[in-house]
Amino acid sequence: MSAVAAGLEGLVVAETALSSVDGTNGILTYRGYNANDIVNKVTFEEVLHLLWYETLPTQSQLDELNSHLARHRKLPDEVLNVIRALPKSGPPIDALKAGVTALGMLDPEQDSWDQGDLREKAIRATAAFPTMLAAYERLRNGKEPVEPDAKLQTAANFLYMVHGEKQSESKARAFDTYLMLLVEHSMNASTFTARSTISSSSDYYSAITAALGSLKGVAHGGANMMAMKMLLEIGDPNKIRAYVDESLQIKRRLMGIGHRIYKTRDPRVNHLMAWSEKIADEVGDDTWYQLAHNMEVLTNDHPYFTERKLYPNVEFYSAPLLYNLGFQPDLMPAVFALSRIGGWSANLMEQVADNRLMRPQAEYVGPANQEFVPIGERG
């Protein structure tokens, strides 16, 4: 029997020039730029340009991209009608799946793999995602959708469309940093799903829909929701140790602690931790930031976690940050998608440039040489 790489761990399935993850040393790069060197210095839109056009933009190039995104933030009536018709009881990330499907059905070049066409699809979908999600969020809470403001960029616009009024500059900057830090992360589960889907000669929108389905899982993009639910369940800093001890006893995972790749502190954590603290101070509620911080202090000094090199990942402080920005836990996986669609889109452009159908094999371990028995003779 040949060796099986459970979860495809250690297998290289593609070459990429988009990002690299050094899990041993805790380094994330976007096209060779260390994320720690550019965070809080570039906007989410600048990183989109880097991923989609291979360079950080000049001011005129950034202005052009922002203008293009602004033109596509307003939803076509058909897409907004789909969002309106959806049940209000489902996970918000499912609304994005429905919305992007409708968006694709309106695209006369839906099946085109031309690089220019793919960039156009990426711009349209990335612009539409926040509007779709904000519309669904308001509708499920009995409110009418708010149209995007052409003067606001992605982060500030989403906050505005969700809350119905412009939010502070610090909240917009915090959310922009979140979007910038989660946009791309090498061959993660949803990115692999997107690339695998389009490799079958499918279309951009189908690949994005498939990626959303993967991101929804609590072992991936749904982890921010579960981390926040964990903090809400604990509720009191005095209960942290008991919760951790009980979790170890019953083998319950501490959400936001540990990562498949990083064997040190996730490089994105420090920046989200800092913004989480700032926004907690601004809104006058540091409960959730302090709970996360106190839990990290405990686990950083606990042999179970240190021996296994389990440290906070990107979800650990993004959860309290997003919560203090006004997002309920079940909205958080979909909020993640507002960022990661930029990376998915870049990966799809890269995949189709040198495509081959992804067709791994499975090791058969079932019964062999079974004899057929007619139905009348089966006991």
Catalytic site positions = 259, 315
The total of other beta-carbon atoms located within 10 Å of residue 229's CB is 16
Q: Specify the 3-state DSSP secondary structure of 49.
A: helix
As given in the structure block, the two tokens for residue 368 are 């062999």
Residue 195 class from Cβ within 10 Å (0-12 exposed, 13-18 middle, 19+ buried)?
Answer: buried
Q: Bridge partners of 22?
A: 27
Q: Which residues pair with 29 in a beta bridge?
A: 20, 34
**Cβ atoms of residues 214 and 40 within 8 Å:** no
φ, ψ (nearest 5 deg) of residue 21? -125, 115
Q: How far apart are the first and last CA of the chain?
A: 33
Q: If we measure between CA atoms, which residue out of 79, 114, 110, 118 comes closest to residue 97?
A: 79
Structure tokens at 71: 């033109």
Q: For the sheet containing 19-22, what is the strand order? A: 19-22, 27-30, 33-34
Q: Are the C-beta atoms of 288 and 197 separated by less than 8 Å?
A: no
